[in-house]
Amino acid sequence: MSVQVAAKWVVLDIEGTLTATSQVHVVLYDYARPRLGPWIDAHGDDPVVAEAVAQVKADAGLAEQAGTAEVVAVLHGWMDADRKASPLKTLQGLIWADGYARGELTTDYFADVVPALRSWLDRGLRLAVFSSGSVAGQVASFSNTTSGDLRGLFSHHFDTVNAGPKRERASYDAIAAGLGSAPGEIVFFSDVPAEVDAAAAAGWRTVGVARAGEPFADADFGSHPVVSTFDDVELGVIV
């Protein structure tokens, strides 16, 4: 059944919405896992890395003088538990950006995604991303895809650092302010019910994405409209 919604802005989750969860949990996590320690040791003078490492130690209750191996053990544990902790996402994003720049990583989207995004843009909608993946990781992931360089499709990128946690209403308030848009003019697509709940609490329009074979395929989205593919979305433009 198709879902009809009108908006000015389309804000998109990545994992489970644009890409298969395996693209993140298998391809990207497996790429980052063995590179975290070497990256931390090679970039200890980078303030972004130093801040992320300090945050990991603080969050995990490690001593300030803890070594890289202890920090990496925490990071691996968070990855195993799929804990979307900001310092982990920061470090992963740096490693992935390097991997995409080297041509060692390529993003593969669900078949309906790129045609839908292009058609929404053609109709006058504007696109933004809100993902737990860091902005650096997001931008890099759009740079080298099976459909080419898609970075130009998106006007804004938001993550847990510049917006906040995805399950909190305040993050969606901050994004609406960043877009300079009324909340009712923004539609958010996500595979996670708690995320669309938070967006709706902020006054956004929402669409749950329950794709076959994905972890949230059978999730209860309550009163949110739900699609299993973007082919089932009819997006109108608010002028």
Ligand X SMILES: CSCCC(=O)C(=O)COP(=O)(O)O
Rounded to a whole number of angstroms, the CA Rg of the chain reads 18
Q: Whole-number minimum distance, CB 88 to ligand X, in Å?
A: 9
Helices (H), 61-163: 68-80, 86-101, 113-122, 135-143
Q: Whole-number minimum distance, CB 152 to ligand X, in Å?
A: 17
The option from Mg ion, ligand X, none interacting with 131 (CB < 5 to 8 A, set by class) reads: ligand X
Q: Are 233 and 206 in contact (CB under 8 A)?
A: no
Name which of 194, 90, 77 is nearest 133 in CA terms.
Answer: 90
Part in contact with ligand X (CB under 6 A); list of ranges 65-73, 109-117, 130-138, 206-214: 130-138
Among 10, 13, 100, 199, binds Mg ion (CB under 5 A): 13
Among 13, 173, 197, 214, binds ligand X (CB under 6 A): 13
Among 7, 10, 14, 85, binds ligand X (CB under 6 A): 14
Among 56, 87, 91, 141, binds ligand X (CB under 6 A): 141
Q: Which is nearer to Mg ion, 72 or 88 (CB)?
A: 88
101-118 as b/e: b if 16+ CB within 10 A: eeeebebebbebbbebbe
Place of tokens 């990855």: 79
φ and ψ of 83, to 5 deg: -85, 120
7 lies in the site for ligand X, by CB under 6 A: no
Part in contact with ligand X (CB under 6 A); list of ranges 60-68, 111-119, 126-134, 206-214: 126-134
Q: Which is nearer to Mg ion, 16 or 193 (CB)?
A: 16
Distances (CA, A) of 174 to 127, 163, 178: 16, 6, 6
With CB atoms as reference, the residue minimizing the distance to ligand X is 133
Binders of ligand X in range 146-205 (CB under 6 A) = 166
Q: Which is nearer to Mg ion, 9 or 216 (CB)?
A: 216
Among 56, 78, 114, 132, binds ligand X (CB under 6 A): 132
Q: Whole-number minimum distance, CB 73 to ligand X, in Å?
A: 20
Q: Whole-number minimum distance, CB 190 to Mg ion, in Å?
A: 6
What is the spatial order of strands in the sheet that 205-209 belongs to?
Answer: 154-158, 126-130, 9-12, 186-190, 205-209, 226-227
Query: How many Cβ atoms are within 10 Å of 86's Cβ, its own excluded?
Result: 18
137 lies in the site for ligand X, by CB under 6 A: yes
Residue 44, both tokens: 């200890």
The whole-angstrom separation of Cα 89 and Cα 28 is 11
Residues that bind Mg ion (CB under 5 A): 13, 15-16, 191
